[in-house]
Structure formats: structure tokens, C-alpha cells
Amino acid sequence: MVSAKEIRERAWEKLGEGNWLKAVGAFGIYWLMGTVAAQLMFRVGVATGGIEVMSIDEFFRRFGESLGQMGIAMPQNLPSDVMACTFPVTKPYFQAIQFVATTFLDGVFAAGWAVFTVSVMRIGANALQVFSGFSRFSAMGWLMLVRTARIVLWSLLLVVPGFVACYSYRMSFFLKADHPEWSAARVLAESKRMMSGHKWRLACLDASFVGWWLLVLVTFGMAILVAGPYMGVTYAAFYEDLLDRE
């Protein structure tokens, strides 16, 4: 059985075949799209009143009584400049809208990233492939919504079923990249079938990146420009290994 180390080596080798700059560029676009989407959602929330930006002082004046009933007391003798610091407060209805919209867009972005990383493992990649999810905008967004809903529902039962569901559906966007005509239900069913007997392998692969995540932390996020592409292509290599087994 191919180990996590061998999977990582395959990905590193493919990146070394003239794909590093492409991968860094593609990951940068992928990250930027997510950042822009989050900012747009925030601005829409502020413009529509779904998100209020208020100071700490205003927050405790408005909600102090309710917080007191829950045993949360207002901090005493805080400096005025601290009390004037602002933060966003999202209303419950907008939290639901934000969750659905963000999840939908995450599916579109994830689809493009999956297409790119699989291309690195195969015949050749182009950084602009990260935009390919937009060509099937509704299908990719719907897939992410359905996948997330299933994971959340399983998680409501117990932590373990939710964890299993998460790993069962990890190959969904790679499969959708290869089979854009498949429905969300078929993609998720096929991902679950492919991952049968391989969830622990993928969990071990996830764990093998702990050192990379620590590097990201100590470099204040800068190392993600290397770690992100490397991990993305490694998961594509894992997907390719599953296909080889079939």
C-alpha cells in the first residue's frame, strides 16, 4: 500500500517539473477569490443592516442586561480607547444567508482548485484553471451545499459520524472535475465508495502535514504560499492513487 510519504513525494516531484510557479500563482488566485468574496459579503451585510459595526461600549450598553442574565459582566475600568474599539455583530438571519452564500461560493472556488491540482498530476496545468468552476457555477455551488448539509446532519448525531462523512466526501470535487455531468448525489455516492477502506490513509496524510502547518504559524502565514500548493497537489496525488487502484 502506498504510504503518505510516497504520496507526498509524487506530488513534490510533479511540482518540480516546472509547476511550482504555476501552483503558487494558482493558489494565490484561489486565496484571493475567497478573500474578495468574504469582503463583499461583509459589505453587503453592513449595507443591508445584517451586520452592525459597534464599539465595545455600545455593545454592552445594548446587550448588557441580557449578558448579565447569562452571568457575563461588563469589564470594569477599561481605557476609553479600548471601549471605543469596534467589531462586527452579525444578526442571526444574516448569519444563515452568509453561511449559505459562502458555502456556495466555496464550492465554485474548490472546483477550480481541484481542476488545477489534478492537471498538475497529469498532462499539464495552467494557473487560470482555478477559474474553471465558474463555467459550472450553479452545479459546483450546489455540490458544496449538499456535501456540507450531509456532513452537518451526520455531525448532529455524534462527532464520529460527522468525521466519517467528512472523509467519505473528500474526493467529491476531484470526481466532479473528471465527471462534470454527474449529479451531486452521484458524485457524493462515488466519493463514499472510493474512500471505503481509505479514510485512515487520508487521515494519516492529513497528519503528516502538521510540520507544514507549524511552519505557516511561525512565518505568520507566509509559508502558506508553498504549503498550500504542496498540500493541494498532494491530495490530487491521493485521488490519482485511488483511481490507479481501480
Each residue's pLDDT tens digit, 160-191: 888 999 999 999 999 999 999 999 999 999 99
Model confidence at 103: pLDDT above 70: yes
* Residue 77 main-chain phi, psi, to 5 deg: 55, 35
131 in the same domain as 17? yes
74 pLDDT tier (thresholds 50, 70, 90): low
165 in the same domain as 81? no
167 in the same domain as 84? no
Report the percentage of the chain scoring pLDDT > 70.
98
138 in the same domain as 61? no
Range of the domain at 170: 4-38+93-245
167 in the same domain as 142? yes
Partners of 90 in the β-ladder: 51
218 in the same domain as 122? yes
For 25-63, what is each residue's pLDDT tens digit? 999 999 999 999 999 999 999 999 999 998 888 887 887
Give me the sign of the Cα torsion angle 113, 117, 123, 124: positive
Residue 230 domain-assigned? yes
What's the average model confidence in pLDDT over 124-131? 92
Residue 45 domain-assigned? no
pLDDT at 121 (0 to 100): 95
* Residue indicated by cell numbers 455516492: 189
pLDDT at 190 (0 to 100): 97
125 against 39, higher pLDDT: 39
142 in the same domain as 60? no
Model confidence at 64: pLDDT above 80: no
Do 234 and 205 form a contact (C-beta atoms < 8 A)?
yes
128 pLDDT tier (thresholds 50, 70, 90): very high
pLDDT at 19 (0 to 100): 94
201 in the same domain as 129? yes
